[in-house]
Structure 1
Amino acid sequence: MTLLGAEDEGEDRRSLHERIAADLRDEIMSGDLGPGASLPSTAQLKDRFAASNATVQKALHLLKDERLVIGRPGASVTVREHRQRTMRPAAYMAPAASGEPYRWLSEVSGSGARARSALLDVAEEVPPADVAAALRLQPGGLALLRRQLLSIDDEPAELVASYYPLEIARGTALAGRRRIPGGTPTLLAELGYPPGRSVDRVSARVATQEQYRSLRLPGDLPVLRTLRLVLSDRDLPIEATVMVKAGHLYELEYTFVPG
């Protein structure tokens, strides 16, 4: 067995074009290369990274596939106007007013984008272990699953799987195979379970096969996975939702008040 020496520790084993794309991606996501900005020319990138023309072009192709930049042969490559969206979960946690759409849809639409939700599945299933623990289910216990895909400007944005205790969901509109006006927070409040305290657990993951296909991911980039537990009065768990979005296209913003 060969052991890595100290000189090998921390070595970046990615191909050069992947390393170039990683550095440029970071500059785009941090705002150093803002929306509409032109990337350095091919000649400048060749000098900066000591790379061939073909290698630079492969790096740019990756960024195009990731929907971070746009460009065509013979023209400059520019950062897309919506290179990365900031999502503010607290803005759409509260129940919507009567007759109003789900707050996620209205918040996104308010930014000038087209937002849409598509219901993919409604079923009673054994949820993932972390979801089951959050809902305080017995081992092998079932929950009602509502799975949907949220889109922005006709591009998949977020894969959402929401689970509900059967004693709350059975026989209600939650179990129906249609969208719920105002979203589930509104319905839960009407059913006598007003959403109260929420807890988010956010992690970076490698996409599953379903997530890869549904979100049309271009490569082996991480996704952001949020497990949100919603509690009602007396800290009763009423909803546990797994939300997955492309990590290179979205960021989450939370505001905290010392207390």
Structure 2
Amino acid sequence: MAVPRTETGADDRRSLHERIAADLRDEIMSGELAPGAKLPSTTQLKDRFDASSATVQKALQLLKDEQLVVGRAGAAVTVREHRQRTLRPAAASMTRAEAGQQYPWLTEIAKHGSRAHSTLLEVTEKVPPADVAAALELAPGATAVLRRQLLTIDDEPVELVASYYPTDLARGTALAEPRKIRGGTPTLLAELGHPPHRSIDRVSARVPTQEQATALRLPGNLPVLRTLRVVHSADERPVEVTVMVKAGHLYELEYEFTSLS
């Protein structure tokens, strides 16, 4: 049955094929259309959305570009294996690697049969963005040590990570050196006398920048999840501020809360 335009499309400025893709994407991501399920036929989608065959095919092509569905022209289109990963970030910023062990996030990804890798893109000293500078409690114009990485899973880029550290803490340490840190930064911060004690995340959905869209190979106009994470030591000093940008269609965040009563 066709969906009345007055209810669904009157105030939506996206083209019809983008709106169709958005509705189908939501059904795929929520599990209503399960992995392996066939999407409704072109005829059914034409009737449902009051659209032409060409418009429906453009919508399906968006989903194919996002690798959510597979199928050839004239054949049934099928939902791919669920690709969205659930992250539980509450303790991630404070988890230390055991001696001789991989970073915890690498170990976690391996449990699911995937290969994770981090590529160090840059280590430099620069004036950070305004929100990072405020979180680090820096004076105007003050610099911080920046470490930028690109994380991949099974050779697919999934996250850009930019971590900033106070210069007086980082200078002369491995934080300021262009190499990976053995055991990860939580382990090093603890060795430097600033063990992570409290972490605060601020998560927002944003339109990707040109750099982000290119680095993450984002298809279409999908949003990204941006997390600003502030890590404090036991004396409440901010010792690390990280900006993490993830492909929005690949991740969901899970937080668990326990009643104090």
Question: What band does the TM-score fall into relative to the shorter chain?
Answer: over 0.9
1:107: Cα distance to partner?
1.0
TM-score normalised by length of structure 1: 0.93
Alignment of 1:52-71 (within 5 A): 52-71=52-71
CA distance in 1, matches of 2:212, 2:218: 8
- Deviation track 1:88-110 (CA, whole Å, cap 9, x = no partner) reads 11353311111111111111111
Q: Is the 1:92–1:107 contact (alpha carbons within 8 Å) kept by the matching residues of 2?
A: no
Counterpart of 1:235?
A: 236
2:214 — aligned with what? 213
Greater alpha carbon shift after TM alignment, 151-160 vs 76-85: 76-85
RMSD across aligned positions (CA)? 1.6
Residue 252 of structure 1 deviates from its aligned partner by 0.8
Give the structure 2 partner of residue 181 of structure 1: 182
1:69-91 deviation line (CA, Å, top 9, x unaligned)? 22223432222213311111135
Match for residue 126 of structure 1? Answer: 127
In the other structure, the counterpart of 1:14 is 14
- Tell me the amino acid that sits aligned with residue 212 of structure 2: Q
The aligned residue for residue 257 of structure 1 is 258
Q: Which residue of 2 aligns with 1:3?
A: none
- Deviation, 1:10, is 6.1
- Does structure 2 retain, via aligned residues, the 8 Å contact 1:196–1:231? yes
Runs of 4+ in 1 over 4 A off after TM superposition: none
1:14-163 correspondence runs (5 A): 14-90=14-90, 92-93=92-93, 94-163=95-164
- Offset from partner CA, 1:190-226 (integer Å, 9 cap, x none): 1111111000000111111111111111122211100
Report the secondary structure of 1:187's partner residue: helix
The corresponding residue for 2:4 is: none
* Amino acid of the structure 2 residue aligned with 1:97: E
Cα deviations by residue, 1:122-149 (Å, 9 ceiling, x for unpaired): 0001111110010000011100000000
Q: Deviations over 1:161-184 (max 9, x none)?
A: 000001111111111111112211
Unaligned runs of 5+ in 2: 1-6
- Shift in alpha-carbon separation, 1:211–1:27, aligned structure 2, 3 A: same
| Code of the aligned partner of 1:239 | E
Aligned residue for 2:197, secondary structure, equals coil
SS at match of 1:98: coil
Task: Tell me the distance in 1 between the aligned counterparts of 2:32 and 2:183.
Answer: 38
| Residue in structure 1 matched with residue 3 of structure 2 by the alignment | none
Post-superposition shift, 1:12?
1.5
Change (3 A) 1:256 1:247: same
Q: 1:28-80, CA deviations, whole angstroms, 9 ceiling, x for partnerless residues?
A: 11111122222112222112112111111100000111222222234322222
Distance 2:221 2:39 in 1: 23
Match of 1:158, SS? Answer: strand
Task: Find the residue that maps to 2:157 and give its secondary structure.
Answer: strand
Give SS of 1:234's match: coil
User: Corresponding residue for 1:191?
Assistant: 192
- Partner SS, residue 14 of structure 2: coil
1:258 CA drift (Å): 2.1
- More deviation in 216-225 or 76-85? 76-85
Question: What is the SS of the residue equivalent to 1:33?
Answer: coil
